[in-house]
Chains A and B, each alone.
Chain A
Amino acid sequence: MNPWIVSNLWLIPAIPLAVALLILSLNNSRRSVCAALAVIGQAAAFILSVVALVPTLGTPHYLAFVNFTWFTFGEQALRLGWMLDPLTAVMIVMIALVSLCIFVFSIGYMAADKNFTRFFAYLSFFSAAMLGLVIANSLLLLFICWELVGLASYLLIGFWIDKPTAAAAAKKAFITTRIGDMGFFLGLIWLYHGTGTLLFYDRGAGCMEPAALAGLGPAATSIALLIFCGAAGKSGQFPLHVWLPDAMEGPTPVSALIHAATMVAAGVFLVARVFPLFNVGAVHGVTASLTVVVWIGVITALMASLIAIAQADIKRILAYSTVSQLGLMMVSLGVGGVAAAIIHLIAHGFFKALLFLGSGSVIHACHEEQDIRKMGGLRRIMPLTFVTYAIGMMALSGVPLFFSGAWSKEEILHQTAHWPGGPWPYYLMLLGVVLTAFYMMRQVIYVFLGRPRGASEHAHESPAVMTIPLIVLATCAIVFSVLLTPAWPWLHDYLMGETARFDARLLIQPVLFVSLVLVGIGIGFGWFIYGKREGEIDPLQRAQPGVFRFLEEKMWIDEIYASLVVAPARFAAAFSNFMDRYVWDGFVRIVGGIGQLFGIITKGVDEQGINSGVDEATTGLRGIGRIFSAAHSGQIQAYLGAVAVGMLALLLLYAWLV
């Protein structure tokens, strides 16, 4: 018998969803009621997800699921379901907790917004979709929630619809992820064709279980790659990463939600969930599809951390750091370190939410200024934000011992170092570690140290409703590391179904030492270059203007897409327009001209011969016509109403006759 929570796991996404609908139906002047509803709904989801975590703790390889038939179609029954395993359990706890912090923060951040209640409805909807995604036991249900996540992100990125850049960014996010989703959907259909089921686990008959996977044969690689297209789109992997930095146009809590708990986590989660599919026919843990995942991850991670160096917008730097960290997670998945990737995803969820909310606090204090070159000296003005932000920054950079990001990154590097596919991903990842520490140091120096410049002169510390979530997340970022150390890798063993043992000797590892040195180099280098900075121009820009420009312009990837994809589409549209307007229209005009000519001839005959006799009759008819023309109001709804009344009359006539 399943515990109560397994049968009722659906409540976890259903509560925020119900809250979202309830808020939408309330009057938007009831701001405090709506905010309270959203927070309570999220808190309920969090409590339930902790309850769901409990049964998975006792048994290794815990797996429980509930399947039901959605509908029967001829001989085929389409079945959906939800499941609970360690992967789902840690994901729901992380999503619910991070979302809860972000919800509370939003109360302060969005206080002045006129669409306050709509914002909370969308936030709840977003979190509901994501929670539904991680509990799905069916690729189809996962896909449905996946699309709902996409819809929610569209609504939230474009939340300030009056801003043209926000509307464009929302559209870009939606369309770019849709390109990936197309691949995902094809993969899903192919998988259904190959295995006859989309349930992940179904007592041996599910599509992620050995029997079905063995039947797939070589098609598994193609299916896995198609599904990876979807994951790459959602998780901002090269070449579909372009939407993620633009998504910064949304309100900052939305950025935090997208970059930490929801949306981008979905891609990594998807690959982890269907990992058995990627692993079909593995030789020493290497398959063609996994190799693709590794290299896409490596390219993404390096490219994004290079671009991050030259950005000036506080949120864009964080956005590119998310892209690079997601690349890191993909590398980890590709080399077979599923647990390491998920651990980093969770740790990243906490500290990236912290960093984004911290940046929100900074932006709020600097009167919506996002350019780090105009900030500075906020260390004294906003001590709480500074301390929590510094914790987030050290967690992201991977400063060892006390910060969760360090241990999870360690784990990934450890996995990558032993990849049989070649040593290069490992070396490139080490370079990425240096770069990450460097650009985060640059950002912190610009924003918090030095003298106040421009926007930061009249700054003030944020209210408690904004700083308390920061403190909670900062605490999570530190305390969480206890579960990750190599000496007591509780989370890793929990995910892998092993029992954690404490062994202090494992604390000292060569990889740890290497990365300690690398992080030191990155931070030291950042301090060396930016610590004694004078003037407005970036020292790197002064030294290497060409390279800096290349990175500042995001390697011109947007421009390349504009010329390779958008321009041909525009050309095709212009061409169709030309064909329509001149060629086909011309043809129609010629036909019309012939008709007109014919009309002129008949008109002549008419006017000369027949007209005079008919004139009398028409005067009479015109009177009738006027009566009828009164009914022709030109209002389409009047016409539609007349159709409806007529239909009703016919129905009544029918009822009377039969």
Chain B
Amino acid sequence: MNDLAMATTPTLTHFLVISAALFSIGLLAALSRRHAIYILIGVEMLLAAANLNFIAFWRYGAPSPQPTGVMIALFSIAIAAAEAAVGLALVIAVYRHYRTTNVDQFTSMKG
């Protein structure tokens, strides 16, 4: 039985770089896309980046018997699910009102 030996062991830096990349991609999506659902997806990617950081710091930080980092990430995933449900409901409500999901058209908050 040949177990899959990892060629290199990933370090904290790898995770932080991936997380930063994920964050930047998510931010880019949230800022540049015009479709409300894509913006939501971008925000979800920001959350994913934060979760990855939680787990990475827990894994590489001071050894702890409690899986704290993972638990926070789990909570955050659950909250993100609720947030996505609310967000999508908002998108639908906004769509019914404006007949579009292009965020450029939503200007009723203009001061």
Interface residues of A (CB under 8 A from B): 1-2, 7, 65-68, 73-74, 628-629, 631-637, 640-641, 644
Contact = CB atoms under 8 A, between A and B. Distances in A.
Pairs A-B, 4 closest by C-beta atoms = A632-B111, A634-B110, A634-B107, A629-B111
B7 to A, nearest CB: 14
Interface of B: 1-4, 27, 30-32, 39, 65-67, 70, 103-104, 106-111
A583 to B, nearest CB: 20
A74 B106 contact: no
Contacts of A641: 31
A629 B107 CA distance: 13
A519 B67 CA distance: 62
A632 B2 CA distance: 61
A637 B59 CA distance: 35
A644 B2 contact: no
B27 A644 contact: yes
Given A2-B1, A74-B65, A644 B31 contact: yes
B2 A634 contact: no
A637 B103 contact: yes
A73 B70 contact: yes
Nearest to A75: B65
A634 B109 contact: yes
Given A68-B3, A632-B109, A637 B39 contact: yes
Nearest to A633: B110
A44 to B, nearest CB: 22
A66 B2 contact: yes
Contact of A632 (B39, B66, B106, B110): B110
A73 B67 CA distance: 7
B31 A637 contact: yes
Contacts of B104: 635
Contacts of B70: 73
B3 to A, nearest CB: 6
Contacts of A66: 1-4
A47 B67 CA distance: 44
A74 B67 contact: yes
A604 to B, nearest CB: 28
Contacts of A633: 107, 110
8 contacts: A2-B1, A67-B3, A632-B109, A633-B110, A634-B108, A634-B109, A636-B109, A637-B30
A651 to B, nearest CB: 11
B17 to A, nearest CB: 16
Contacts of B67: 73-74
Contacts of B109: 632, 634, 636
Interface centre among A73, A628, A640, A641 (most CB of B within 10 A): A640
A491 B65 CA distance: 51
Contacts of B108: 634
B50 to A, nearest CB: 13
Contact of A640 (B2, B3, B30): B30
B106 A634 contact: yes
Contact of B2 (A2, A74, A628, A631): A2
A68 B1 CA distance: 10
A635 B3 contact: no
Nearest to B39: A637
Given A73-B67, A640-B31, A7 B2 contact: yes
Contacts of A67: 1, 3
Contacts of B31: 637, 640-641, 644
Contacts of A629: 111
Nearest to B55: A71
Contacts of A644: 27, 31
A644 B67 CA distance: 31
B111 A635 contact: no
A68 B6 CA distance: 11
Given A632-B110, A635-B107, A636-B39, 6 more contacts: A2-B2, A66-B2, A634-B111, A635-B106, A636-B103, A644-B31
B99 to A, nearest CB: 18
Contacts of A640: 30-31
Contacts of A73: 67, 70
A627 to B, nearest CB: 11
A7 B4 CA distance: 9
Nearest to B66: A74
Contacts of B106: 634-636
B1 to A, nearest CB: 7
A636 B70 CA distance: 32
A68 B32 CA distance: 40
A629 B110 CA distance: 8
A640 B4 CA distance: 43
A66 B2 CA distance: 7
Contacts of A628: 111
A636 B110 CA distance: 10
A66 B4 CA distance: 9
Contacts of B30: 637, 640
